[in-house]
């Protein structure tokens, strides 16, 4: 693959591969600026995913994530929204895990007192 022909501020040639249809890489061809203008703006309006969380029980979260994955696989959801939603689901699951560990620790302490 050919190397980008752009010269950097330090006088070195850019080491990125060039695009197949031009002498420069994605960044030096202006592709990065175009991509940023399309989706990188703050305040961009996102379309609703059409997937709702029906509750916060572990099985409901699992079902929700399954539906979200199907939407992503079909190209009907943007990855930025999906990442945010998955992060929130991880936090809910972590809270359940921490709660269960706390309860188990209490039960263990009670059993140790009895011995």
List the chain pLDDT tens, one digit each, 115 residues.
789 898 988 999 988 888 888 898 878 887 665 655 555 554 556 667 777 878 777 788 888 888 888 888 888 777 777 888 888 888 877 877 777 777 888 888 888 888 8
Q: Are 62 and 68 in contact (CB under 8 A)?
A: no
- Alpha-carbon distance 90 to 71, whole Å? 19
Two tokens, residue 78:
């943007």
Query: Degrees (nearest 5) of the Cα angle 34, 35, 39?
Result: 120
User: Quick one: DSSP state of residue 1?
Assistant: -
Backbone φ, ψ for residue 93 (5° rounding): -65, -40
């Amino acid at each position: 693959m050919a190397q980008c022909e752009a010269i950097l501020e330090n006088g070195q040639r850019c080491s990125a591969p060039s695009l197949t249809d031009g002498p420069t890489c994605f960044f030096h061809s202006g592709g990065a600026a175009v991509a940023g203008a399309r989706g990188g703006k703050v305040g961009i309006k996102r379309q609703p995913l059409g997937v709702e969380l029906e509750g916060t029980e572990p099985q409901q979260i699992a079902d929700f994530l399954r539906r979200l994955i199907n939407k992503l696989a079909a190209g009907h959801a943007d990855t930025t929204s999906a990442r945010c939603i998955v992060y929130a689901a991880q936090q809910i699951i972590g809270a359940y895990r921490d709660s269960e560990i706390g309860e188990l620790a209490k039960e263990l302490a009670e059993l140790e007192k009895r011995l």
